[in-house]
Structures are given as structure tokens and as C-alpha cells.
Amino acid sequence: MPVLIVAFLAAAVLVLHRLIPNAIGNLGSLVEAFLPWLGLAVPALLALAALRRSLIGVAAVLLPLTAWLALFGGHLLPRDTPAPDLIAVQHNVSDENPDPAATARALLEAHPDLVALEEVLPAAEPAYAAVLDAELPFHTMWGTVALWSRFPLAEAAPVDIRPHDLGTDWNRGLRAVARTPSGDLAVYVAHLPSVRVGAAGLTSDRRDESARRLGALVAADPVARLLVLGDLNTTVDDRGLLPISRGLTAPPADFALTWPASAPVARIDQVLARSMTVTRLRALPRTASDHRPLAAEVRFATPSR
């Protein structure tokens, strides 16, 4: 009986996670941030059912297994993707990175057309530029976020995604327009506020406010093709990102876990697109940061606006 109950609950959470309220400790967002890991309930329940020699228990495990496969089974399947029109790399390089040049060299191994960085200290910018400029000659930096591009950049400027209780020295967003051979591409680089998990649950008010500000800017942007690259401090399953992800194309069925670098359990670094398709995401080898870089293969599509 316990196996049946837990199996039913696990399946219900997987299928109905949007119904879990955030009123108490942002429980819904916390569950959604680690939603794929509910799949671990399947082998645990199967082992318990086998130990008890319960055929009903074994059958009950099909409930969460089916629910998990419906949501994440595509992440496990091999697939062919067309050659990308553009490769974008997103990386929180860490403000404690002891070797920016080595990190920059590692990012270039992905042959990117765009590189977005967060936690770039002003003192470290020359070290990144000394390596990246050779391949990506156009770059802009505001606050602690930076963008390197193979294509000329226009309209580069900071964007205000500050939570209301932070001062003007908090500058972690920028926008620029990349002049690609296929037309203009608006690129946002953002680093949303961190969250904390404690006895009271998930504290994400600042992140969520920053996400709403960024989402409003993205929705109002006049350029049809658009990319959002950044450390958004949660996964795409988290409802906290809906203000940004709403209206953008869904990411591909790839886990591509980026955090923490030593043993990644979540992809909190994101590459999201509008009027284009991200066809593949992959986590790159570890650098000196506490995040792993994320590489996105992007295909252009006919602009819808």
C-alpha cells in the first residue's frame, strides 16, 4: 500500500506540478526547479515493491514512470539536428575565476558566434577580451555582464532589471543588436538574482521581480529575432521564468545541466529564442567557474513579427 500511495503522489506531482501553490515557501517553484529528479522515485519504488514481492506495487510504479517519460523521455532519445545557423555560448564565469584567459579559450572551442558572460569583474575584462576578441571582434559590457559577437553590435545599452530594493550600482542586464548576414538579432544578456533555500522554503522574490522586468522588455522589443542568454538562477520548468519564456520558443529536449559545475543537478543557465529555434543544448566541459558553460545551436526561422 505505501508503494501505491507514493507512486500515485509522484505521478500526480509530475503531471500537476503547476497546481502546487507558491503561497507557502514557494513550494511550487522549488519542486519545478528539480522536477526531472522525481524520476528517481521509480527505481526506489520498484526496489521496494520487489522487496515486498508486491505485483500491485510493481504495476503502480508504471504511473510515475509513464508520467516521467511523457515529460522527459525525449531527453534520452538520440536525434539528428540540422546544421546550426548560429552557435551561442552562455557562461557565468564566476567573479572568483582565477584564470579568465583559460576560461575564454575553453569557450572558443565550441566555435561560437556569440558568447554571453556573467560575473565579469572590470579587472578581468581585459583577460577575456585578449582571447575572445581574436575570434569575436565585437563586444560590449555593462556592469558585470558582457557579450562578445562575430557580428557587428549596435544599440548596446544596459537594461534595468533591478529588483526595487537594490541600488543603481546593481547592473546585471544588457541588450545589443547583432547585425547578422540574415538580419538583425536582438540579444539580451542577464544575470537574475540568486535564490536561497532554507527552512522556510524557497526565497525567490528578487529573482521573480527581475524576471518580470526582463520579460516585459523582451515582450516589447521591436526586433523580431531575439535571444535571451543568461544565468537565470532557475530551470525552464520553474513558473518563475514564465514572464520571460512566455512567447519564446520552447527549448529542445536536452538536459544540459550546468550547476553546480562539480556535479550538475540543474540547468539554471539558459538560451531562449524568439522567431528562431534552439535545436540543441549541451553543457561544455568544466572551467574554473562554479557553473559549466552552455552551448546552444540555433536555427533561423521566418520572423513572425
To the nearest 10°, report the CA torsion of 177, 180, 185, 188.
-60
Mean pLDDT of 173-189: 98
Closest listed residue to residue 142, CA positions, set 173, 186, 169, 114: 173
pTM to 2 decimals? 0.94
All structural domains of the chain? 2-76 (no CATH), 86-300 (3.60.10.10)
Mean pLDDT of 136-146: 98
Q: How many other C-beta atoms are found inside a 10 Å radius of the C-beta of residue 109?
A: 12
Confidence of residue 136 (pLDDT cuts 50, 70, 90): very high
Please calculate the CA angle 196-191-37 and round it to the nearest 5 degrees. 50
Mean pLDDT of 67-75: 95
pLDDT of residue 2: 83
List alpha helices for 61-189, DSSP H.
Answer: 62-72, 100-108, 125-132
Residue 114 has pLDDT above 80, yes or no: yes
Mean residue pLDDT across the chain:
95
Q: What backbone phi and psi angles, to 5 degrees, belong to 229?
A: -120, 135
Please calculate the CA angle 166-175-179 and round it to the nearest 5 degrees. 175
Mean pLDDT of 12-20: 96
Confidence of residue 192 (pLDDT cuts 50, 70, 90): very high
Percentage of residues in the chain having pLDDT higher than 90: 88
pLDDT of residue 1: 61
More confident residue, 139 or 54: 139
pLDDT of residue 131: 98
Confidence of residue 79 (pLDDT cuts 50, 70, 90): confident
Q: β-pairing, 226-231 with 183-191?
A: parallel
